Structure 1
Amino acid sequence: MIIVIEGGDQAGKKTQTALLAKALKQRKIKTTTFSFPDYKTPVGKEIAKYLNCKRKFPPQVIHCLLAANRWEKLNEILAAQSKNSIVIMNRYYHSNLIYGLANGMKSKWLKNLDDGLPKADLVILLDVTQRESFRRKKTNRDKFEKNEEFLRKISKIYRTIAKKEYWKIIDASKSKQEVHENILKAISQKIGL
């Protein structure tokens, strides 16, 4: 099973991915995690340079690079699926769709970039306001994190797509523990923990 933790910047994706992996392992459920973008790969390094304003790409190129970053990890994802009951993704192809739509790109084109990757079984959206996002990270923001208007647009698109695609929406402005418990409840409804 692939569980994806999605959300805008500073929604708590990394924290909640780690808490979820720990909770599942404590229940003796074989679990592993991936995080995208993966900045350690050759393509991931180019993405990091773009986000830190050291490279310029047209929107189509950066979205192709974001998809290529997931394709770089395909064999690892498939191996992880065969060895684990649950694979947790801290962002996956869904974020490329959301950010691409915010950049004015076509949904079909964006979806085609990732067509063929293993599909998510459950997507959890950590929903947080832009005010809260900015409160959580005041410095060292990347290209997207600096643009408050763009981030508001991202939040709106995330909510719209989440409702349309029946993702589980969790209020991420609550405490880390409350958010974690709500994630466990959502997974329990899906697989029965």
Structure 2
Amino acid sequence: MMIIVIEGFDQAGKKTQSKLLSDFLKTQNKKSTIFSFPDYTTPVGKEIKNFLGGKRKFAPQVIHCLLAANRWEKSQDIKNALAKNHVVIMNRYYQSNLVYGTVNGLDLKWLENLDRGLPKENMVILLDVKVSDSFSRKIKKRDRFEKDKTFALKIANTYRKLAKKYHWHIVNASQQKDQVHKQVRDIVSKHIR
């Protein structure tokens, strides 16, 4: 069937837009399944959560391997959803590993190889949120990747750079959520039969 990836920095509205997209697909008589990464419910996901919460220390290579392993843990579930003819909506997928990994000084080719063999996406929609909007939408409970404004700006810029390189769709996520949803819907509508 089809995999649609919703990407973006913290508080870009990925969870909201994934849900709205799923609801829209229902109106088109399409079943969908949403996956969110990292998935903290799995054994590897628990390690990632500890790292992001500051309870564990890992070298950048290790955390990015764990993030990839977290997707591999769910790969059979993804394949099962596709086999049932569901549209699979990813609230983040391996694209965020490319972005965060590059900013953490890792080689892009090396990062790409971590996920080689996972089900491939049909499209990526980047919810491009201004860093100032991300910070004003969420004041507390930021993880270690989300606290640092300089890091956040690098992430936002790297998302835009890789979006050009890989031909991802870009939606301005600093708009109202219904405006964002309309643009997401328009992009997806062109690709579903």
Q: Same fold per TM (> 0.5)?
A: yes
Structure 1 residues 22-37: aligned runs within 5 Å: 22-37=23-38
Shift of 1:189: 2.0
Q: Which runs of 5+ in 1 are unaligned?
A: none
Shift of 1:166: 1.0
Stretches (4+) displaced over 3 A: none
What is the rounded CA distance, in whole Å, between the counterparts of 1:128 and 1:118 in structure 2? Answer: 27
TM-superposition CA deviations, 1:53-106 (whole Å, max 9, x none): 000000000000000000000110100111133100000000001000000100
1:138 equivalent in alignment to 2:139 = yes
Letter in 1 for 2:50: K
What is the rounded CA distance, in whole Å, between the counterparts of 2:86 and 2:48 in structure 1? Answer: 30
Q: Which residue does 2:58 correspond to in 1?
A: 57
What is the rounded CA distance, in whole Å, between the counterparts of 2:31 and 2:192 in structure 1? Answer: 14
What is the rounded CA distance, in whole Å, between the counterparts of 2:160 and 2:192 in structure 1? Answer: 24
Structure 1 residues 8-47: aligned runs within 5 Å: 8-47=9-48
TM-superposition CA deviations, 1:98-145 (whole Å, max 9, x none): 000000100011001000001110100000111010000000110111
CA RMSD of aligned residues (A): 0.8
Shift of 1:191: 2.5
Q: Which runs of 5+ in 2 are unaligned?
A: none
1:2 equivalent in alignment to 2:12 = no
TM-score, length-scaled by structure 1: 0.98
Q: Is the 8 A contact 1:7 1:126 kept in 2?
A: yes
What is the rounded CA distance, in whole Å, between the counterparts of 2:93 and 2:181 in structure 1? Answer: 19
What is the rounded CA distance, in whole Å, between the counterparts of 1:41 and 1:60 in structure 2? Answer: 20
What is the rounded CA distance, in whole Å, between the counterparts of 1:124 and 1:6 in structure 2? Answer: 6
Identical columns (%): 59
Shift of 1:26: 2.3
Letter in 2 for 1:72: E
What is the rounded CA distance, in whole Å, between the counterparts of 2:175 and 2:65 in structure 1? Answer: 34
Where 2:4 maps in the other structure, the secondary structure is strand
Question: After the TM superposition, which of the residue ranges 58-67 and 81-90 deviates more from structure 2?
Answer: 81-90
Structure 1 residues 177-188: aligned runs within 5 Å: 177-188=178-189
Shift of 1:30: 1.3
TM-score, length-scaled by structure 2: 0.98
Shift of 1:25: 1.3
Structure 1 residues 1-193: aligned runs within 5 Å: 1-191=2-192
Q: How many residues were matched structurally? A: 192
What is the rounded CA distance, in whole Å, between the counterparts of 1:136 and 1:170 in structure 2? Answer: 18
